[in-house]
Amino acid sequence: MSTQAPSNVPPVEKWDRLLDGKVAVVTGGGDGIGGAIARLFAQHGALVEIAEIDSERAAAATQAIEAAGGRARAHVVDVRCAEDVARLRAAVLDEHGGIDVLVNNVGDYRPLVRFQDSSPESWQAMYEVNLLHVFAVTQAFLTPMIETGGGAIVNVHSVEGMRGFPGEPVYAAMKAAVAHFTTSLAVGYGRKGIRANGIGTDLTQTPQVDYIKGFEDREDLWPSWAPAGRLGWPEDQARVALFLATDLSSFVTGHNIPVDGGTKAGGGWFFSPEARRFVNRPKGL
């Protein structure tokens, strides 16, 4: 039997501009993880369409990409709003006639409401900012993606959708729903050329989640909390998004990858500097 890849395995012919000429929509692409994804995709030759609620962030992100020699356009949209999603869809399709990559990145754990104090209003807010728009934006671009030969969908959710999150179970449930939507979408549309994968984010320094504030001088604490021994940065997430968006991952679909410095893998084990070993109970200290 031949060990050579048949012609339906897309060749990776170059490794420097992996998204050359591809059209990529990144929601929340103005800052944080979405901002890093937009920059890295542009660096790899993508025409990046940034969908961002904050007009200043949208403009700054686009200018930074253009200053670095990349191509990007800003769309000031609230992805929770159906009219805005329709406007985004029209603007992207009018310009390019299609789309190759969609990154659904918008999400928020704030305001963090303890479940006992939560309400139908707070559940609805969690739903709209973490899940509803993933359905809406995916539906807006899925058919055009299929019609132009397929594409890749990358959904940025959270490691909290892949493990128990005591702080905010409603947020965790929304993220778990995004992960399962991703898996199911992949199975349903794989034969139409669509790949869909998710990123279960954790421990990443962004405007939304400031892990450093108040602990500026305590970098020594990180090895106790993250198996990778350090804080994560938006670029750490963007590299995985690039992998999932390109033919580097041509046979990967329906998966949710924790990009978390190993927190999910570590389960309940922590490295204790005092005990100089891993502990999983207070007695271990």
Instruction: Work out whether 87 is an interface residue with ligand NAD (CB under 6 A).
Output: no
Residue 149 or 207 with smaller CB distance to ligand NAD: 207
Instruction: Work out whether 33 is an interface residue with ligand NAD (CB under 6 A).
Output: yes
Instruction: Write the DSSP symbol of residue 106.
Output: -
Residue 32: name the closest of 105, 130, 136, 114 by CA. Answer: 105
**What is the C-alpha separation between 206 and 242, in angstroms, rounded?**
19
Q: How far is the CB of 157 from ligand NAD (least distance, A)?
A: 6
> Which range of residues in 115-123, 201-209, 249-257, 270-278 is near ligand NAD by CB under 6 A?
201-209
Please pick, from the candidates 39, 57, 75, 89, the single residue that binds ligand NAD as defined by CB under 6 A.
Answer: 57
Instruction: Work out whether 32 is an interface residue with ligand NAD (CB under 6 A).
Output: yes
Please pick, from the candidates 122, 182, 183, 204, the single residue that binds ligand NAD as defined by CB under 6 A.
Answer: 204
Q: How far is the CB of 30 from ligand NAD (least distance, A)?
A: 4
Beta strands of 45-191 (E only): which ranges?
Answer: 47-52, 71-76, 101-104, 151-156
Residue 184 three-state SS: helix
Instruction: Write the DSSP symbol of residue 228.
Output: T
Contact between residue 222 and residue 170 where contact means Cβ atoms under 8 Å apart: no
Instruction: Work out whether 80 is an interface residue with ligand NAD (CB under 6 A).
Output: yes
171 is catalytic: yes
Q: Which of residues 6-25 bind ligand NAD (CB under 6 A)?
A: none
Cis peptide bond N-terminal to 227, omega within 30: no
Total number of residues binding ligand NAD (CB under 6 A)? 30
